[in-house]
Amino acid sequence: MDSSSDTSSSPPPPALSFSRRQKEKVLVIMGATGCGKSKLSVDLSIACGYEAEIINSDKMQLYRGLDISTNKISIPERRGVRHHLLGDLDPADGELTPADFRDLAGAAVADIASRGKLPVVVGGSNSFIYSLLVDRFHPGSDVFYGSGPEDRVSPQLRYDCCFLWIDVAFPVLCDYLCRRVDEMVETGMMEEMADFYSSESWPGRTGLLKSIGVPELEWYYKMGDDEGGWDTVRRSVYEDAVRKIKENTCRLAERQVGKIMRLKSGGWDLHRVDSTDVFRERLRAEDEAEEVWEKEVMDPSVKIVKQFLQEE
């Protein structure tokens, strides 16, 4: 999720119009963790005159709990745009499979489209995105790491899709992600994790156990409270855990981009929007970051979506 400031003071882009079609139109916003997908989804939904609703496709954000650690978009940042499958599931019910997500998100697409609104699928879990969108999904296949004939990416989709791929040069994104981890720690991540591990039910929260931060901090919280000589040891364990969280977040981003490239090479028509300059400005804490976002990300995205919605 993106934690940048509210853009409500900026003049809104012109409202977009919907045209009749045979398949449901679906907007899909893809990209690595932290690249600004959530912010763009809200900005575009508002540009549509609130005639769009967002379906989360991040597998960790599906579950209730660990809002800071999983980077769920906050209520104020949603700016009145309705979100689906965001913190809706009980993590004790087990891990959701791609086939499960296809059913849940497919029902959300049908519901949103039936009310004349645009479904916007947003998230970094590309296996979930693939399972939802492909015309014929085979649960046993692995289109990202498999090598058999059944593992080929299918270009046949069950919806009329427009893909926006928000891309950021990896060194710049990694620097930003590391800073974001520090900000998460400062804004309550450690307290949130402490509550998670102090709960008697935490071992059964299987849906969240793979969230970055949970395995890295497990040993730190199992050590108990600071007592005498443990202070130095706990500090070392804590610093090592934060370092691993940063490393694993950057590795996740790299894997996500690799999967997006696999889909692109498999025939998916992805519109790449380069957000690198935006993140350079954010790392410098420059006031111009929002202006660069509007010019280099929002404006081209609005043009792409507007053309998509007007196509028969």
Neighbours of 99 (CB within 10 A): 12
Q: Cα–Cα distance between 140 and 156 in angstroms, integer?
A: 18
CA angle 6, 34, 120 (to 5 degrees): 70
Reported in sequence order, the residue ranges of the chain that DSSP labels E, i.e. its strands, are 25-31, 52-56, 83-84, 118-122, 160-167, 270-274
**18 found inside a domain:** no
Q: Please tell me the chain's helix, strand, coil percentages from 3-state DSSP, rounded to the nearest 5.
A: 50, 10, 40
Same domain, 85 and 119: yes
**279 with 176: CB under 8 angstroms?**
yes
Same domain, 105 and 194: no
Identify the CATH number of the domain in which residue 34 sits. Answer: 3.40.50.300
> Can you tell me the mean pLDDT for 239-259?
97
Same domain, 61 and 146: yes
Same domain, 123 and 267: yes
Identify the CATH number of the domain in which residue 191 sits. Answer: 1.10.287.890
Residue 197: per-residue pLDDT: 86
Number of domains present in the structure of the chain: 2
Where is pLDDT greater, at 14 or 170? 170
Same domain, 277 and 128: yes
pLDDT in tens, 165-180: 999 999 999 999 999 9
Residue 260: per-residue pLDDT: 98
Give residue 159's domain range: 25-168+259-310
Residue 92: per-residue pLDDT: 85
Surface-to-core class of residue 268, CB atoms within 10 Å of its CB (0-12 exposed, 13-18 middle, 19+ buried): buried
Last residue of a domain, one of 223, 247, 271: 247
Same domain, 189 and 87: no
pLDDT in tens, 263-291: 999 999 999 999 999 999 999 977 789 99
Global confidence as pTM: 0.89
Same domain, 106 and 199: no
**14 found inside a domain:** no
**253 found inside a domain:** no
Written as one letter, the residue type at 152 is R
Residue 22: per-residue pLDDT: 78
**157 found inside a domain:** yes
Structure tokens at 52: 């769009």
**9 found inside a domain:** no
Whether residue 50 is predicted with pLDDT greater than 70 in this model: the reply is yes
The chain-wide mean pLDDT, for the chain, equals 89
Same domain, 225 and 210: yes
Same domain, 120 and 196: no
**254 found inside a domain:** no
Written as one letter, the residue type at 139 is P
**119 with 90: CB under 8 angstroms?**
no
Torsion of CA 301, 302, 306, 307, to 10 degrees: -40
Residue 99: per-residue pLDDT: 96
Q: Cα–Cα distance between 33 and 30 in angstroms, integer?
A: 9
Whether residue 21 is predicted with pLDDT greater than 80 in this model: the reply is no
**120 found inside a domain:** yes
Query: Which residue shows structure tokens 């689906």?
Result: 84
Q: Flag the least confident range among 106-115, 121-130, 215-224.
A: 215-224
pLDDT in tens, 176-233: 999 999 999 999 999 999 988 887 666 666 788 889 999 999 889 888 655 545 578 8
pLDDT in tens, 290-309: 999 999 999 999 999 999 99
pLDDT in tens, 67-78: 999 999 999 999
Sign of CA dihedral 290, 124, 75, 117: positive
Residue 163: per-residue pLDDT: 98
> Can you tell me the mean pLDDT for 101-127?
97
pLDDT in tens, 1-10: 443 334 444 4
**116 found inside a domain:** yes
Query: Which residue shows structure tokens 């009145």?
Result: 80
